[in-house]
Amino acid sequence: MSYFLTDEQLMIRDMVREFSRKFVAVTAMERDLSKEFPAENCEKMAELGLMGMMIPPEYGGSGTDTISYVLALSEIAYSCASTAVVMSVHNSIVCESILRYGSDDQKVRYLKSLASGEMIGAFAMTEPQAGSDPVSQKTSAVKDGEYYVLNGTKRFITTGKNAGLTIVTAITDSAKKHKGISAFIVVKDTPGLIVGKVEDKMGLRGSDTCDLVFDNCRVHKDDLLGSEGDGFKIAMSALDGGRIGIAAQSVGVAQAALDAAVKYSTQREQFGQTISKFQGLRWMVAEMATEVEAARQLMFSAAAMKDKGVNYTLQASMAKLFASEMVNRVTAKALQMHGGYGFIKEYPVERFYRDARVFTIYEGTSEIQKVVISNHIFNDKRKM
């Protein structure tokens, strides 16, 4: 449904769609097998302005709105979810956090490199014992003259191995609980920053996920993002934008699965006719298409609210919750429609099914989204 999109938004969607299906899709299956990081994809995407979509032109970005961004992200996810998650974390969380909370010096030093694709961004908050409960994190940052000394371990960090820059949260004052968490910009090859275990994952295998170990890692005070104690606020703000990004990824993968199922069903014959003629299957397709469209509209709603500058936390959580659960249902049905062929790697629905599974988990589980949504409903019904 594109009746409300502007000509510019449609142009961006169509441009990214053509690039995604002609270039990104070609190596998606290969990357899933080899676990090769999509560096070439990111390089080409940077040339198209996709690695700094919401960064203003004065910092080398495209300066687009959030609607344009989610359209582009969905199209990349349609072809390769591994590439899309790199794009999403880089844009939604890293670039936006520096743009919103960074000093003028930090914006000049980092945003141009991020927008050009010279550096890919990562975000490190999760720890071995602090996932849904970020206040329980143990990584510390102790002031030492003009530096902060970071010690601790971060877990499940998307792009952690390949990132040129990582935003890291750490405790600067344990007595203040969430108000004692600060955020730091740590560039690659900083002494004391060690890439730890790289995970062997079920899906999104072309995107690295790893531990980052901080062993007396010295970060200059000029790389404190915001002020001391702003880390939790920065992280929660970043996750709101990131959750819209997950909704966009979910929509892209679900649309790919739906399209693959429709194509297969019009070619596969059983009992003397294509299986697309059977009512049971046609009703499955109707349900799948309706769910994809509902998720897309929730994604657009959250993105539009973000563009208007109003609080969109509730809508972001709703979009993330519904879309991430939806893509798991849709990919499962698409696989089922393929029968035995859906269970083998020759057909992409097998990859779609595996890639989709983590969407209900990362950047806030479905259960956490329900906590956020219900808190909004009970605390202020006017926000509905």
Question: Which residues participate in catalysis according to the annotation?
Answer: 363
Name the phi and psi angles at 292, rounded to 5: -60, -45
Query: Tokens 């972001």 identify what position?
Result: 316
Cβ 12 vs Cβ 54: under 8 Å? no
Write the secondary structure of the chain as one string of H (helix), E (strand) and C (coil).
CCCCCCHHHHHHHHHHHHHHHHHHHHHHHHHHHHCCCCHHHHHHHHHCCCCCCCCCHHHCCCCCCHHHHHHHHHHHHHHCHHHHHHHHHHHHHHHHHHHHHCCHHHHHHHHHHHHCCCCCEEEECCECCECCCHHHCCCEEEEECCEEEEEEEEEEEECCCCCCEEEEEEECCHHHHHHHEEEEEEECCCCCEEEEEECCCCCCCCCCEEEEEEEEEEEEHHHEECCCCCHHHHHHHHHHHHHHHHHHHHHHHHHHHHHHHHHHHCCCEECCEEHHHCHHHHHHHHHHHHHHHHHHHHHHHHHHHHHHCCCCHHHHHHHHHHHHHHHHHHHHHHHHHCHHHHHCCCCCHHHHHHHHHHHHCCCCCHHHHHHHHHHHHHHCHHHC
Cβ 300 vs Cβ 70: under 8 Å? yes
